[in-house]
């Protein structure tokens, strides 16, 4: 803000110079009288000297008036935008409850036979015991019927941004769910689809000018998503509406943030403005479904998707790539990510499960080693509905397909990983976590070994990412540690023998 005040003062001087030059050029008395008290410049916390302003405005010719006012207006807008962005960044950095979190994606439709908020609410104690901190609910809004895909339609074809899907329950049911989540010490974020609406969303008729059109003037769908119509964010009224709709759920239902669908398809400056509006209500956590538009992380979002690493984990599990490709990936992102930026690491999600296959299909016997890696490299881990019990079917996307809940040893495995994440500050997300150092073994293409360090806390991860047993040496991997999974104190001498897709995690 002090920087902007300095710029404003310089602008006043420049405006005054414009007046002096033009008045000398035209040598004409002012034809337009200006009363300074009628001139209002909206600049927060700015107390410009009234005599300075009079000096600029009094005696202006029409030409000099326009030029001076234009210069001041442009500077004022720029400074306000800069101040707003700085305020947003400062507020966002104050949100710390996500630092040791695990995020869990909830598919309400498929979670229970009832497919309701109330039925899902019964699972909250189990999810708390699992070690989940943030619940991300897939879109809860009414689903469009026009051009609907399948029997029940896509969750991402939103008919009304300010209502809930009647199949899920009522607004009162949802409010009760949010309260119950908070009572468990967890947080809840909503999935938000800002880029497009269903074809029977009320906005289509009320504001057709808010939609993208082709060369013939017809509304269009993004890609081949025929059940939705694309929104045009060059319209300021649309931006106002969408920001207000986002704020509505925070104000009225006390949700804790958003996962924003195809966030990179919506202008960055919209998100920055919308998030600033949200922070005026309360601090929120923001997840972008995007990885390419890094500017989204500057002041709007805390976290984005780790799509590239996910695909590399699949490729290594399938023998299409080696650990050397992991090295290349981490070298690349080291130069891209700021300390505050967070990658969401995942083995699956609703898209991967429904369209590309289950974890068993894509990763097979490598899945537990990949989970260990996803929980311990920099970032935040995700669990998708049913992952914790080893769900082995592709959930239908457009019709009912209930998860068959059962006891599974994987639940203890994921609970242990969540405890590991929460108990070791070296594994915290973003700037809160520790350094990340890859330790190469004498067979670097086959083994992924790394160390995370924060103050006096160390986590050493050793994995064999091949389908055969491996013996190898890591010179830097020595010392006294606690084996996380066995609880036994271990003296490491740098030599390891791990089974196919084996893993070890050591802590001190």
> 95 near 133, Cβ under 8 Å?
no
Alpha carbon distance 474, 464 (integer Å): 12
Burial class (CB in 10 A: 0-12, 13-18, 19+), 454: middle
pLDDT value, residue 396: 98
pLDDT of residue 94: 52
What pLDDT digit, counting tens, does each position of 391-414 carry?
999 999 999 999 999 999 999 999
Per-residue model confidence as pLDDT tens digits over 308-328: 999 999 999 999 999 999 999
Token readout for 17 is 């110079």
Q: Name the DSSP letter for residue 211.
A: B
Q: How far is Cα 453 from Cα 456, in angstroms, rounded to an integer?
A: 7
Supply the DSSP string of 345-367, one letter for each residue. E-S--HHIIIII--HHHHHGGGH
DSSP state of 189: E
Provide the CATH topology of domain 437-507.
Immunoglobulin-like (2.60.40)
Q: Residue 74 burial (CB < 10 Å; 0-12/13-18/19+)?
A: exposed
pLDDT at res. 89: 52
Superfamily in which the 98-199+233-433 domain is placed by CATH: Glycosidases (3.20.20.80)
Domain extent listing, the chain: 2-89, 98-199+233-433, 437-507
Give the strands of the sheet with 489-498, arranged side by side. 435-438, 447-454, 457-464, 503-507, 470-483, 489-498
Q: What is the pLDDT of residue 155?
A: 97
Task: Kindly report the pTM of this predicted structure.
Answer: 0.84
Domains 98-199+233-433 and 437-507 share a fold: no
Helix, strand, coil shares, percent, the chain, to 5: 40, 20, 40
- Two tokens, residue 287: 């997840």
Please report the pLDDT score of residue 58 as a whole number.
39
Under-50 pLDDT residues of the chain: 1-16, 18-66, 68-84, 88, 90-93
Residues 106, 136 contacting (CB under 8 angstroms) = yes
Q: What are the CA-CA distances from residue 375 to residues 60, 325, 380, 383 (Å)?
A: 66, 19, 7, 10
* Residue-by-residue DSSP string for 275-343: HHHHHTT---EEEES-SS-TTHHHHT-SEEE-HHHHHHHHHHHTTSS-HHHHHHHHHHHHTT--TT-EE
Burial of 218 (0-12, 13-18, 19+ CB in 10 A): exposed
**Residue 349: both structure tokens together:** 């999600």
Please compute, for residue 231, the number of CA atoms within 13 A of its CA located in the half-sphere on the CB side: 26
Copy the structure tokens of residue 359: 């974890």
pLDDT value at residue 23: 44
Under DSSP, is residue 69 helix (H, G, I), strand (E, B) or coil?
helix
pLDDT given at position 93: 46
Beta-ladder partners of 437: 451
Name the DSSP letter for residue 264.
G
């Amino acid at each position: 803000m002090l920087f902007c005040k300095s710029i404003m003062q310089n602008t006043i001087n420049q405006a005054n110079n414009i007046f002096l030059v033009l008045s000398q050029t035209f040598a004409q008395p002012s034809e337009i009288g200006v009363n300074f008290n009628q001139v209002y410049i909206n600049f927060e916390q700015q107390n410009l000297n009234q005599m300075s302003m009079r000096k600029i405005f009094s005696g202006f010719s029409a030409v000099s008036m326009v030029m001076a006012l234009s210069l001041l207006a442009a500077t004022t807008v720029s400074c306000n935008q800069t101040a707003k962005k700085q305020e947003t960044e400062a507020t966002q950095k104050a949100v710390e409850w996500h630092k040791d979190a695990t995020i869990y994606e909830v598919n309400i439709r498929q979670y229970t036979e009832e497919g309701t908020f109330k039925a899902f609410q019964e699972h909250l104690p189990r999810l708390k015991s699992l070690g989940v901190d943030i619940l991300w609910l897939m879109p809860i809004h009414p689903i469009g019927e026009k051009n609907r895909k399948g029997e029940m339609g896509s969750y991402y074809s939103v008919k009304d941004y300010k209502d809930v899907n009647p199949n899920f329950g009522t607004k009162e049911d949802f409010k009760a769910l949010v309260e119950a989540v908070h009572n468990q010490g967890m947080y809840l974020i909503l999935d938000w689809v800002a880029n497009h609406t269903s074809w029977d969303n009320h906005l289509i008729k009320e504001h057709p000018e808010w939609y993208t059109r082709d060369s013939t003037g017809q509304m269009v769908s993004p890609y081949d998503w025929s059940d939705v119509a694309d929104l045009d964010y060059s319209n300021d009224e649309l931006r106002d509406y969408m920001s207000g709709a986002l704020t509505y759920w925070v104000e009225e239902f006390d949700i804790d943030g958003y996962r924003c669908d195809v966030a990179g398809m919506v202008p960055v400056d919209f998100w920055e403005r919308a998030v600033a509006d949200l922070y005026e209500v309360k601090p929120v956590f923001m997840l972008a479904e995007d990885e390419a538009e890094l500017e989204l992380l500057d002041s709007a979002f805390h976290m984005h998707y780790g799509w590239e690493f996910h695909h590399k984990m699949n490729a290594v599990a399938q023998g299409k790539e080696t650990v050397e490709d992991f090295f290349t990936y981490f070298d690349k992102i080291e130069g891209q990510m700021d300390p505050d930026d967070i990658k969401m690491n995942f083995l699956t999600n609703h898209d991967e499960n429904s369209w590309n296959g289950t974890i068993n299909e894509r990763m097979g016997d490598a899945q537990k080693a990949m989970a260990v890696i996803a929980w311990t490299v920099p970032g935040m881990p995700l669990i998708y509905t049913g992952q914790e019990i080893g769900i082995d079917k592709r959930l239908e996307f457009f019709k009912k397909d209930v998860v068959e809940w059962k006891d599974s040893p994987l639940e203890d495995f994921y609970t242990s990983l969540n405890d590991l994440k929460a108990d070791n500050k070296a594994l915290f997300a973003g700037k809160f976590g520790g350094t990340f150092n890859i330790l190469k073994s004498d067979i670097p293409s086959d083994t992924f070994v790394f160390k995370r360090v924060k103050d006096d806390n160390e986590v050493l991860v050793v994995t064999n990412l091949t389908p055969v047993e491996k013996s190898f040496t890591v010179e830097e991997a020595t010392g006294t540690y606690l084996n996380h999974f066995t609880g036994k104190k271990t003296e490491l001498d740098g030599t390891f023998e791990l089974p196919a897709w084996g893993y070890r995690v050591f802590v001190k």
